[in-house]
Amino acid sequence: MTGTDGRQKWLTVAEELAAALRVDAAERDRRGAEPSAEVGALRRSGLLAIGDWATQQAVTRVVGAADANVGHLLGYHYLQVWRSGLFDNPNFQPGDNVFWAGVSNPLDAALELRPVDGGFEVTGRKTFATGASVADRLVVSATRTGTGDKVTFTLDAKADGITYAGDWDNIGQRLTASGGVVFDHVHVPSDQVLGTHDETSPRLSLAALGFQLVLAQLYVAMAEGALAEAAQYTRTTTRPWFLSGVDAATADPYVLGTYGELVAEAQAAGFLTDHASDLLDQASRRGADLTRDERAATAAAISSAKVVATKVANQTTSRVFELCGARATAAGYAFDRFWRNARTLTLHDPVSYKAREVGAYYLTGEHAPFTGYS
């Protein structure tokens, strides 16, 4: 089902899942366990099977606002399926209700891919791989010995020779299973190879922009989630300051003004990110006809969205405490999880370089380079 009716159906499903996630989000964050139950909830919801790009982005925001960890897992699942399709390989089939994760951190030590009878053998370690340990299937990139080519392929996440370090212990995004993955002579059948990455191909280079776009969506979701929960607390619990002259915090002009600023900024970041998402979808649909100029314009739009969304996420998740008061710092409310998640994920790659790319494109028309991050 596609179109407006289909999108609304999936948004309703996403909102129902989000409501369930909010109930124990704070407790699950404290436990920091492997997100097996959360991935199971995604499977049961049917959201994994959505094929429409715009619907995927909207659903990621809804789920991410309720629980940034689950939104991260879902957004990356959609991303891995989409980026695999950039190779136009008929052997690739996403499958029904299959959860995908990726192993392709660009700056990590490269995995080694050695030709063997019937395909290849991959060996090495990646330090970060969000969702891999709870996935059904993996999209993996490795360097082929002899040629130095970057080859992308798929694997069963439970294939012989794959082990998961379980060493993700960061302050935020604690339920994303983002620890290391070790490959010990893992066999890669020939028919699971998606293709070789052509460093000169504008369309294949869109994969890096897809990662940046999903991150921007998650940043907006974090701001929206923090505002939603803070607002509920302000309405029901926050006491007005004794000098305010009002009977409720919701009548305090300073509280109202601060909410107004933060909400407006989050909405602006959301519209900008959705605009960038539309451009990336259009660029992807251009196929082999995508030009370097079109790719550059898309990259600049996504970088703009990421610059704004980064600032909004970090500022909003910090300032909501001003709107709730000192009692809101109690551990039971876990309002700090929004800031911890935002602070952790916004360090994925330096946003200053995204601002630099936007400035260079605006002033001189310089195109962002084709890299794993741009």
- 289 vs 277: CA distance, rounded Å: 19
Range(s) for CATH 1.10.540.10 in the chain?
3-85
Length of the chain: 374
Question: Which whole-number Å values give the CA distances from 339 to 69, 315, 345, in the listed order?
Answer: 13, 9, 10
Closest CA to 170 of 179, 181, 183, 158: 179
- 46 vs 48: CA distance, rounded Å: 6
Q: What is the pLDDT of residue 1?
A: 52
Task: Give the SS3 label for residue 270.
Answer: helix
Q: How many CB atoms lie within 10 A of CB 56?
A: 25
- 307 vs 276: CA distance, rounded Å: 12
Which amino acid would we find at residue 346? T
| pTM for this predicted structure | 0.96
Q: Give the homologous superfamily in CATH for domain 100-196.
A: Butyryl-CoA Dehydrogenase, subunit A, domain 2 (2.40.110.10)
Fold for the domain defined by 206-364: Butyryl-CoA Dehydrogenase, subunit A; domain 3 (1.20.140)
Residue 114's DSSP bridge partners are 121
Range(s) for CATH 1.20.140.10 in the chain?
206-364
Q: What is the pLDDT of residue 2?
A: 57
Q: What residues in the chain have per-residue pLDDT under 70?
A: 1-2
Task: Give the SS3 label for residue 112.
Answer: strand
- 314 vs 310: CA distance, rounded Å: 6
How many angstroms from the chain centroid is the CA of residue 210?
9
- 355 vs 351: CA distance, rounded Å: 6
Range(s) for CATH 2.40.110.10 in the chain?
100-196
Angle between helices 36-45 and 3-23 (to 10 degrees): 150
Out of 1.10.620.20, 1.10.3720.10, 3.40.50.1100, 1.10.540.10, select the CATH number for domain 3-85: 1.10.540.10
